[in-house]
Amino acid sequence: MSVQIKRVYDDAEKADGFRVLVDRLWPRGVKKDAAELDEWLKNVAPSPDLRTWWNHDPERMDEFAKRYRSELDDNDQLDGLRDIVSKNTTVTLVYAAKDPQVNHARILRDYLDG
Which pLDDT does position 19 carry in this prediction? 98
How many other CB atoms are there within 10 angstroms of residue 93's CB atom? 25
pLDDT grade, residue 114 (50/70/90)? confident
Which pLDDT does position 69 carry in this prediction? 97
pLDDT in tens, 50-85: 999 999 999 999 999 999 999 999 999 899 999 999
Prediction pTM value: 0.94
Which pLDDT does position 45 carry in this prediction? 97
Q: Quickly list H helices, the chain.
A: 48-54, 61-73, 78-87, 104-113
Which pLDDT does position 1 carry in this prediction? 74
Kindly give, in sequence order, each residue whose CB lies less than 8 Å from that of residue 15, ignoring residues fewer than 6 positions away.
90
Rounded mean pLDDT, 77-104: 95
